[in-house]
Amino acid sequence: MNPESAGVELAEPHLRGLLASAGLDVAYARAEGNVLYRQDDDGRETPVIDFAGGYGSLILGHNHPEIVARAKELLDGQAPIHAQFSAHPYATRLAAELNRIIHRETGTEEPYYATFANTGAEAIEAAVKHAELDRVLRQTELLAEIEAAAKEAEAAVREGTAAVPDAVHARLGVERPAAGEDPLAPLLAELDRRNALVSSRPPVFLALEGGFHGKLMGSVQLTHNEGYRAPFASLGVHARFVPRGRPDALKEVLEESRASLLQLGVEGGEIRLVERAHPVFGAFLLEPIQGEGGIQPLTPEDARHIQEFADASGCPLVIDEIQSGMGRTGALLSSSQLGLRGDYYALAKSLGGGIAKASVMLVREARYRAQFELVHSSTFAKDAFSCHIGLKVLELLEADNGRAYQQATERGAALEAALERVRAAFPDVVEEVRGRGLMLGFEFRDQSGASNEVIGGAARGGLFGYVIAGHLLNGHAIRTFPTASAVNTLRFEPSVLLGDDEIERLETALTDVCVILREGASDRLVLG
Ligand code: PMP
């Protein structure tokens, strides 16, 4: 038992119990770079190599000295951390710097406006809210145009400059009124009825199968994992999930979702019915590399099909770079490496440098609605501390011609080569190594049919990845976890400081795991 576990546990005791069952409920006393120091019962500190990397928030490692120095400087200098409703020059600078890098990486010049928030899920919810505000405003503008067109049609009929052909009544299934009565009145009533029906439909939000976008009331409905989503289905926005790698499915979505609003027009002295495309789509959310879904990268073809769908449908793309971004794959935006362009970007995790809680939603100018600033805010968002830390993180990523991005690519390649060596030696145990840069996944073959009771039982209970993580921690002083929704896949998301010796230690540890699995030797698992 850890020193802190004495007494009644009231902070998520059930979760702690689950962690304990795989020997994962250890306490850490200190952290530096890629290393966490585990505190044992006797007060001793044992170094543990951290491959979980705060699940992606530690691209520069734990307590990076320059980030810590900046934090101290801010606090010692009595920086006003909370000064809501004032000029925020640090937030302006951070937004400008993000734009500068995004423009460089995507080859565009269009500004992206920034809404700051605190967590990843919050940035996603801000994007979803903004997209819906934009859609509702576009719909309102469209309905106003339709109303103005109806007035023009009425005036033309009244003045005798336009006639109403029978075909228009027939098309809408309404009787033509008797001579002398207003020929437009029943048409307009039917038009209003149909338009009201279409415009009151809920928006279509799309997300990829396997995707993860947070666990708040709105964002959890865009997260594919049913366990997280289903109990709260009646609370939030509804998503339609589309498979990766199936462009036909996207075409189907486009066909099935298409809807139009009807407008009257005057052409060649006649009243005509004009169809206007109704803005049905709220947004399409996607991760360039699915993190919690098992480190599943989009292929450049997937990206092309998604971009084509967005262009054809007008559906805004919300690119969730919360886990994949901030340098992890060798660029600020890993989507830029796929040629994917977002209408929105969400960044979080490493934006806070491992010490601040910060996230940002960015929306491109063509979609941007200034009103959003008056209806969305948070007490803690855009605070001086997190903005200054975010600026420091960007400075460190960009320093020496982007050395940190290069390190992520190079260290990632070295790590991937080690994982691949283990896979090649144990093809019967390891299914696949996936990912890019310092966002790698190592998938084991399904062990639910294993003859060893402990291994097979853990797999059948969905705990296989956690048992392996427990052994890596207790047997090899290596910290990692399975991804949240694909528990046979271990994630490797260390910092750019990852050393060759650490990679070597991991290779030895994974080799040991594979031998245990191959031999069904659960007695050799060290879980506490
Ligand atoms: N999106 C992605 C891609 C994520 O990986 C996560 C966190 N794992 C989130 C959103 C949610 O972020 P947070 O936990 O900060 O709310």
pLDDT tens profile 210-230: 999 999 999 999 999 999 999
Q: pLDDT at residue 1 above 50?
A: no
Give residue-wise pLDDT tens across range 397-409.
999 999 999 999 9
Whether residue 265 is found in the same domain as residue 328: yes
Residue where a domain terminates, one of 349, 382, 415: 382
Q: Is 493 in the pocket of ligand 1 (CB under 6 A)?
A: no
Q: Is pLDDT larger for residue 7 or for residue 425?
A: 425
Whether residue 412 is found in the same domain as residue 467: yes
pLDDT at 41: 83
383-416: string of b/e by CB count within 10 Å (b at 16+)? bbbbbbbbbbbbebbbeeebebbebbbbbbeebb
Rounded to an integer, what distance in angstroms lies between the CA atom of residue 27 and that of residue 498?
22
Residue nearest (by alpha carbon) to ligand 1 atom 7: 214
Q: How far is the CA of 350 from the centre of ligand 1 (A)?
A: 11
Q: Is 343 in the pocket of ligand 1 (CB under 6 A)?
A: no
Amino acid code (one letter) for 409: T
In a domain, residue 7? The reply is: no
Q: Is 291 in the pocket of ligand 1 (CB under 6 A)?
A: yes
Token couple for 230: 């289903």
pLDDT at 6: 61
Whether residue 38 is found in the same domain as residue 108: no
Q: How far is the CA of 190 from the centre of ligand 1 (A)?
A: 46
Structural domain boundaries enclosing 145? 89-382
In a domain, residue 376? The reply is: yes
Q: Is 322 in the pocket of ligand 1 (CB under 6 A)?
A: yes
Residue nearest (by alpha carbon) to ligand 1 atom 5: 323
Q: How far is the CA of 203 from the centre of ligand 1 (A)?
A: 23
Q: Is 121 in the pocket of ligand 1 (CB under 6 A)?
A: yes
In a domain, residue 451? The reply is: yes
496, 61 in Cβ contact below 8 A?
Answer: yes
Q: Kindly report the CATH number assigned to the domain that includes residue 432.
A: 3.90.1150.10
pLDDT at 4: 52
Q: pLDDT at residue 514 above 50?
A: yes
Amino acid code (one letter) for 396: L
Q: How far is the CA of 220 from the centre of ligand 1 (A)?
A: 10
289, 318, 323, 359: which to mutate for ligand 1, most atoms within 8 A of CB? Answer: 323
| Residue 57 exposure: Cα atoms within 13 Å on the Cβ side | 17
Residue nearest (by alpha carbon) to ligand 1 atom 9: 214
Whether residue 169 is found in the same domain as residue 279: yes
Q: pLDDT at residue 445 above 90?
A: yes
Token couple for 383: 């605070």
Q: Is 212 in the pocket of ligand 1 (CB under 6 A)?
A: yes
Q: How far is the CA of 210 from the centre of ligand 1 (A)?
A: 13
118, 357 in Cβ contact below 8 A?
Answer: yes
The three-class DSSP label of residue 276 is: strand
pLDDT at 179: 86
Q: Is 320 in the pocket of ligand 1 (CB under 6 A)?
A: yes
Q: Is 327 in the pocket of ligand 1 (CB under 6 A)?
A: no
Long-range contacts of 420-428 (CB under 8 A, 24+ apart): 421/507, 422/507, 422/510, 422/511, 422/514, 425/511, 425/514, 426/511, 426/514, 426/517, 426/518, 428/518
Q: pLDDT at residue 5 above 60?
A: no
Q: How far is the CA of 241 from the centre of ligand 1 (A)?
A: 18
Give residue-wise pLDDT tens across range 242-295.
999 999 999 999 999 999 999 999 999 999 999 999 999 999 999 999 999 999
Q: How far is the CA of 323 from the centre of ligand 1 (A)?
A: 7
What percent of the chain stands above pLDDT 90?
96
Give residue-wise pLDDT tens across range 56-115.
999 999 999 999 999 999 999 999 999 999 999 999 999 999 999 999 999 999 999 999
489, 465 in Cβ contact below 8 A?
Answer: yes
Q: How far is the CA of 24 from the centre of ligand 1 (A)?
A: 22
Q: pLDDT at residue 7 above 90?
A: no
Residue where a domain terminates, one of 318, 350, 382: 382
Whether residue 343 is found in the same domain as residue 418: no
pTM: 0.96
Token couple for 303: 């990206």
Q: Kindly report the CATH number assigned to the domain that includes residue 351.
A: 3.40.640.10
Whether residue 342 is found in the same domain as residue 468: no
Q: Is 134 in the pocket of ligand 1 (CB under 6 A)?
A: no
Mean pLDDT computed over 372-378: 97
Amino acid code (one letter) for 160: G
Token couple for 354: 């491992």
Whether residue 322 is found in the same domain as residue 437: no
In a domain, residue 81? The reply is: no
Whether residue 153 is found in the same domain as residue 24: no
221, 349, 483: which to mutate for ligand 1, most atoms within 8 A of CB? Answer: 349
Q: How far is the CA of 325 from the centre of ligand 1 (A)?
A: 11
pLDDT at 528: 86
Give residue-wise pLDDT tens across range 307-351.
999 999 999 999 999 999 999 999 999 999 999 999 999 999 999
Q: How far is the CA of 315 from the centre of ligand 1 (A)?
A: 22
Q: How far is the CA of 150 from the centre of ligand 1 (A)?
A: 47
Rounded to an integer, what distance in angstroms lies between the CA atom of residue 524 and that of residue 517?
10
Whether residue 360 is found in the same domain as residue 330: yes
Transcribe 321-360 into DSSP letters: -TTTTTTTTSSS-GGGGGT---SEEEE-GGGGTTTS--EE
Whether residue 436 is found in the same domain as residue 485: yes
Atom nearest to 55 CA in ligand 1: 8
Q: How far is the CA of 101 from the centre of ligand 1 (A)?
A: 22
In a domain, residue 78? The reply is: no
Mean pLDDT computed over 461-483: 97
Q: How far is the CA of 223 from the centre of ligand 1 (A)?
A: 10
- The domain total for the chain is 2
Token couple for 320: 């969730």
pLDDT at 378: 97
Residue nearest (by alpha carbon) to ligand 1 atom 10: 213
**Ordered strands of the 204-208 beta sheet:** 112-117, 359-364, 344-347, 317-320, 281-286, 204-208, 239-242
Residue where a domain terminates, one of 333, 350, 382: 382
Whether residue 407 is found in the same domain as residue 264: no
In a domain, residue 335? The reply is: yes
In a domain, residue 482? The reply is: yes
Whether residue 266 is found in the same domain as residue 345: yes
Q: How far is the CA of 122 from the centre of ligand 1 (A)?
A: 9
In a domain, residue 428? The reply is: yes
Atom nearest to 216 CA in ligand 1: 16
Token couple for 270: 């006649």
Mean of per-residue pLDDT scores for the chain: 96
Q: Is 491 in the pocket of ligand 1 (CB under 6 A)?
A: no
Mean pLDDT computed over 345-365: 98
Q: Is 119 in the pocket of ligand 1 (CB under 6 A)?
A: yes
Torsion of CA 390, 393, 395, 397, to 10 degrees: -140
Give residue-wise pLDDT tens across range 120-154.
999 999 999 999 999 999 999 999 999 999 999 99
